[in-house]
Amino acid sequence: MRFLVIIKSHFNGVSYHRLTKPFEKLKQKGYSVDIINTYHETKIDADKYDYLVFNRGLGYNYHDLEIIEKFKNKGIKIIMDIDDYWILPDYHPIIWRKDVDYDEWKGSIVANLAMADYIWTSTEYLKSKIENLVPNTPIVIARNAIDYDDELQWSEAKGKSRNKDKVVIGYAGSTTHYKDLDPLQTPIRRINSNKFLRNNVVFNLFGADNKTDFGIKVWNHQINIMTVQGRFKNLQIDSGKKVSRYASFYDEMDISIASVIDNEFNRCKSELKVIEAGAKYKPFIGTDVITYNRTNANIDLCKNSDDWLESMKELILDKTLRTELGKELGEFVRDEYIIDKENQARLSIL
């Protein structure tokens, strides 16, 4: 099997988890793999390959179809990986960003799905959406996983470099999670209304984008939620990092949280935030939706503000419990989410 893997960027988190790391492992096992950052026809000898692989698209919107068609005409099979639903909630930045045509963005994904010979995806929920669209295409679930031991950023055991006398509740996210933190405003207000808790807790947002117009809009909104509209000051903000270094965000946390709004888009998302927290042996608190409750891990899942308050409060006050739950989650994800095992699923339909 000879694979040509086209990723959008070496700095893209989706490319990193869905393509770069899995194919690095396949290459170690003797498969022929070439990973390139962008497609340039003049630099590629298509006859060298059996499969063209990409996530969602090649980066050229409807022009992707012309490129894919050229490969198909040479007898090369098309593998499309997809880990997000293409129908977005109305608050998603891609819908209101001025530099993106949402209809074209969505349409190119749907067109690429129709052209694919094989499809890899990350959850059963998203698989059902794809099957409704292309019922005759072979589809397999290859879950997200992390290279826990062989990649330094995950295997390194670092303690906090700051806030060592505080309990840090951290959220590592991106601009695509606009408004997902909204349910946290009330429990954060209630935490901070207790003087003892307020003086011993730091909330930390990781991955902030303060460079693009849409990123600034998203993160200003998230900051307002986490500070309860500027009322509280115990918030720290860290900008985004290269995917080869972002695991260090978790080194600065004592507790990892991930709130999502319950909608079709988020139900299709994977439990990657749980896996990341476990990779760094951190306890996890998340929204009680299929995104996170599909895993059998021992994590705190919250249905409402009271649940969020109680879960955060319990872990803030009990260091031993934080350590035990983090250790248990770390062992669980290492047993359950393994790149080599998920690669077997990838190859099983080819």
On whether residue 341 sits in a domain, the answer given is no
pLDDT at 18 over 80: yes
On whether residue 346 sits in a domain, the answer given is no
Measured CA to CA, the distance from residue 257 to residue 249 in angstroms comes to: 12
Q: Which of 142, 177, 210 is the last residue of a domain?
A: 142
Q: Are residues 157 and 17 in the same domain?
A: no
Average pLDDT (289-312) is 97
- Under the banding of pLDDT at 50, 70 and 90, the label for residue 11 is low
pLDDT at 46 over 80: yes
Q: Are residues 102 and 213 in the same domain?
A: no
- Under the banding of pLDDT at 50, 70 and 90, the label for residue 10 is low
Q: Which of 95, 113, 142 is the last residue of a domain?
A: 142
Q: Are residues 282 and 305 in the same domain?
A: yes
pLDDT score of 270: 97
On whether residue 348 sits in a domain, the answer given is no
pLDDT score of 64: 87
Measured CA to CA, the distance from residue 50 to residue 66 in angstroms comes to: 18
Q: Which of 142, 175, 190 is the last residue of a domain?
A: 142
How many domains does the structure of the chain reveal? 2
Cα dihedral value 110, 114, 117, 120, nearest 10: 30
Q: Are residues 49 and 106 in the same domain?
A: yes
On whether residue 55 sits in a domain, the answer given is yes
On whether residue 177 sits in a domain, the answer given is yes
Q: Where residue 20 sits, what CATH number does that domain have?
A: 3.40.50.2000
Query: What does the chain come to in residues?
Result: 350
Q: Structure pTM?
A: 0.95
Closest by CA to 18, choosing from 108, 84, 97, is: 84
Mean pLDDT of the chain: 94
- Under the banding of pLDDT at 50, 70 and 90, the label for residue 303 is very high
Q: Are residues 227 and 97 in the same domain?
A: no
pLDDT score of 58: 87
On whether residue 147 sits in a domain, the answer given is no
- Answer for the pair 246, 13: CB distance below 8 angstroms, yes or no: yes
- Under the banding of pLDDT at 50, 70 and 90, the label for residue 190 is very high
Q: Which domain holds residue 38?
A: 2-142
On whether residue 43 sits in a domain, the answer given is yes
Q: Are residues 171 and 25 in the same domain?
A: no
Q: Are residues 82 and 129 in the same domain?
A: yes
